[in-house]
Each structure stands twice: as C-alpha cells, then as structure tokens.
C-alpha cells in the first residue's frame, strides 16, 4: 500500500483524482487506501465489460468530469483500454506490477476534515453519471451513524455482494468493518 502511495505522491499532487478501475479484490482495497495515504481523491469506477464505445462511454465521461490524473488498474485492463481516446493522455498504472520498493519514500499525509476522500459517481442509468464529493468529515459522520443506527460492535461480521465501486459496497462492505 505504501509503495503505491509513494509512487502516487511522487507523480501527482494532493487533491488530484485517481480512477480506481479494478474488479473486487485485494488490489482494489490497496488502491483505495493508497489514494488516501497519498492525499489523492479516489474515484471508484467499474472495469469496462468490453472496449466497445457503449461500455467505455460512461468511464470516459467520468474520467473527463473528474479530471482524472491517472487510472489505477490491472495489466490486463490497462491493455484493453490503452487505445481508448479518453485515456490517451491519462497515465494507466498497473497496480499488480507495483512492488514495495518505494514504500520507504512514502510521506505521511494528514487530511483535513474538509478534504475530499473520494468522488462517488451515480450509475448513469438514466443520464450521464454525476459525481458526489465525499469529504473525510462526511465519511466519518456516516461511519458513526451506521455504527450507532445498526448497533455495530467489534464482534460483528459483515458480508456483502455489492462491488467496491458501489457506495454501499465501499462504505458498508469495506470501510464500516474497518471503522
């Protein structure tokens, strides 16, 4: 995680937006937290079903709207989207090829409550996807509300079928259990 965070810090400025275009798995979790560690704004998105314009269109719109500085993905996804026009000028970083060599170069980042933690985009099923800015304060307030409202305790076990690019998958399936 710190190796990727260090690489992001060396390549991009705090507050820049990084698309996380991965399937569910360890690399998704590492990429999300690496963005937080580096001071970048995570933008969770889904990997494209194919390279057809129809499947890439929403992702291209999100990348443009968010002003993506990079796309965190896997080598196989990187190869499939490299020719997409919208990603021609955006660095595609294969996180499955990043090691821990740079971990000691990571500089701790302490976000303020008003800093944006991530941008959550709507599905775009009825119109173009729209982004919602989630600050660190918003996220922590949500974590506390879920904890209190559902009487979440340290021995509770969580399960979800929702993908990590979905707000309930990310917040309820990953972040709440960690909280």
Give the separation between CA 142 and CA 137, rounded to whole angstroms.
8
Whether the CB-CB separation of 18 and 8 falls below 8 Å is answered with: yes
Q: pLDDT tens digits, residue range 34-53?
A: 999 999 999 999 888 777 77
Q: What is the pLDDT of residue 111?
A: 95
Q: Which residues does 165 contact at the CB level (< 8 Å), separation at least 6?
A: 20, 44, 45, 46
Residues of the chain where predicted confidence (pLDDT) is lower than 50: none
Q: pLDDT tens digits, residue range 24-35?
A: 999 999 999 999
Q: What is the pLDDT of residue 19?
A: 96
Q: What is the pLDDT of residue 124?
A: 66
Q: What is the pLDDT of residue 57?
A: 82
Q: What is the pLDDT of residue 1?
A: 86
Q: What is the pLDDT of residue 142?
A: 94
């Amino acid at each position: 995680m710190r190796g990727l965070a260090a690489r992001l810090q060396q390549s991009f400025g705090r507050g820049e937006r990084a698309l996380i275009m991965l399937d569910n798995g360890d690399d998704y979790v590492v990429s999300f937290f690496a963005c937080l560690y580096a001071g970048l704004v995570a933008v969770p998105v889904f990997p494209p079903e194919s390279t057809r314009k129809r499947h890439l269109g929403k992702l291209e719109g999100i990348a443009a709207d968010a002003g993506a500085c990079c796309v965190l993905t896997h080598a196989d996804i990187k190869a499939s989207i490299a020719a997409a026009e919208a990603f021609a000028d955006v660095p595609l970083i294969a996180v499955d090829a990043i090691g821990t060599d740079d971990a000691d170069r990571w500089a701790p980042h302490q976000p303020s409550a008003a800093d944006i933690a991530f941008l959550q985009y709507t599905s775009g099923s009825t119109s173009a996807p729209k982004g919602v800015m989630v600050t660190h304060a918003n996220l922590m307030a949500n974590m506390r509300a879920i904890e209190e409202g559902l009487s979440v305790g340290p021995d509770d076990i969580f399960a979800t079928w929702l993908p990590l690019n979905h707000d309930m998958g990310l917040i309820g399936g990953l972040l709440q259990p960690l909280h």
